[in-house]
Amino acid sequence: MTRRFTVLGTTLLALATTAPAVATAAQARETPATSPWDVATGSATGSPAARSAAQVQEYWTPERMAAARPTPAPEVSPAEAAASARTAAAEPPVAEPETGDGHIPPAADAGEPAIGTRALTYFSTSKIWAGHGRMPAQTIGKLYYTRNGNGYYCSAATINSSNRNTIWTAGHCVTDGNRNWYSNFTFVPDFHDGTRPHGTWTARSWAAPNGYFDGKNHRYDMAALALNLNNGRRVGDVVGYQGYRFGESYNETTFHDTRAFGYPQNTHPARSGISSNKLRFCVGYAATDALYKRIGCDMGGGSSGGPWITEMPLSRGWGYIIGHNAWHYGNDPWEYGPTLGTAAINVRDAVHTD
């Protein structure tokens, strides 16, 4: 039986209302890369149409965020899937595995565990995460961006970094896979019910593996963004950040007791009552499936880039990012994502000191 990928589509936002001028053209490639696991990078100053962080913040009004709607999820043809598999047959060099711990900001109050999340009972029918204003929810948020005059969003999470100002997401949330970057990136941590409780952070630089940036190879569907300061503050100092475990040696590891998070507008199979104003999650094991990882979960469009976090006791609210939502097959209640090996190490390393 032929299986078809459905990328966890981002969400489209009509930008028809009057607003300050903002860059709308996809930004051109800045840093060359050759191997698929090498890194392509972009920056907020890398396009003639680039705008300042203040202009980008002004552009993303609550009205535009509230008007977000899902775009049809693109499908990958069998020929494209086969091409990705052929390209992925070349194995990247095995780098030493990297791991970094999470961080609880000094002012954070862990409080009581969110209702319904005290025990790790596995479920693939996503539920609403109730515990906002504390970790882990405050480390997860919506990532907004523009492409050709239209606005979209994905899910993303803060991640351990030297600059304490980096987020992790999916590659198709930053590039079209045809050597073009999106623009006007804005991260809203702990977004819920239309609120921005911790403010917003615009992006200053970003990176994705060349295998996705130049070819849309799904094995390399990952990205990281370094953020600008917000009133002199770094996002990790305000909301904390998650740890990570990257490296080829983890590719065959099954991670038990893993939570997948995201902001879906729909589910697979379809269910009623799903709102992208709510952070949702599933609990399961993240296991290897060919060249990818998968976890039982039904989150659809808008959840792309949402983190898979393992070893996360609610008493501290941080664990280790070992994957993220990237695509699914039809109506199967499974999420798939790339293994986070050498390419993931390279992507994080490219921006985490910016």
Number of separate helices (H) and strands (E) present in the chain: 6, 23
Q: Nearest to residue 133, comparing CAs of 201, 197, 62, 200? A: 197
Cα distances (Å, whole numbers) of residue 337 to 5, 182, 309: 11, 21, 13
pTM, whole model, 2 decimals?
Answer: 0.88
Within 272-346, strands assigned E span 280-289, 292-296, 307-310, 320-324, 327-329, 334-338
H helices of the chain, in order, are: 53-59, 62-66, 78-88, 210-213, 235-239, 342-351
Whole-angstrom Cα distance, residue 157 to residue 325? Answer: 12
Q: In this structure, what token pair is assigned to residue 265?
A: 């507008």
Distance CA 217, CA 197 (A): 36
- Domains of the chain, residue spans: 5-90+98-351
Burial 182-195 (b: 16+ CB within 10 A, else e): bbbbbbbbbbbeee
Compute the distance between CA of residue 303 and CA of residue 331 in angstroms, rounded to an integer: 15
- Give the burial string for 146-180 (b: 16+ CB within 10 Å, else e): bbeeebbbbbbbbbbbebbbbbbbbbbbbbebeeb
pLDDT digits (tens, 9 = 90+) for 303-322: 999 999 999 998 899 999 99
Mean pLDDT of 17-31: 43
Compute the distance between CA of residue 294 and CA of residue 251 in angstroms, rounded to an integer.
12
What is the C-alpha separation between 313 and 114, in angstroms, rounded? 12
Q: How many CA within 13 A on the CB side of residue 351? A: 31
C-alpha dist (Å) from residue 106 to 139, 161, 167: 14, 17, 20
Q: Which range among 106-110, 113-117, 163-167, 214-218 shows the weakest confidence by mean pLDDT? A: 113-117
Given pLDDT bands bounded at 50, 70 and 90, which one contains residue 206? Answer: very high
Q: Which of 146, 162, 174 is nearest to 21 (CA)?
A: 146
* Of the candidate ranges 22-31, 246-255, 284-293, the one whose mean pLDDT is the lowest: 22-31
pLDDT at 33: 56
Characterise 88 by phi-psi region: left (phi > 0), alpha (psi -120 to 50), beta (else): alpha
Other CB atoms within 10 Å distance of the CB of residue 62? 10
C-alpha dihedral sign at 340, 346, 350, 352: positive
Beta bridge partners of 12: 69, 152
| Residue 54: how many other CB atoms lie within 10 Å | 11
Residue 341's pLDDT is what?
A: 94
Confidence of residue 290 (pLDDT cuts 50, 70, 90): confident
Judge whether residue 19 has pLDDT over 50.
no
Predicted local confidence at residue 175, as pLDDT: 93
Predicted local confidence at residue 13, as pLDDT: 40
What is the rounded CA–CA span in Å between residue 159 and residue 99?
11
pLDDT of residue 74: 44
Assign 47 a pLDDT band (cuts: 50, 70, 90): low
**Higher confidence at residue 205 or residue 2?**
205
Tokens at 74, concatenated? 């693109």
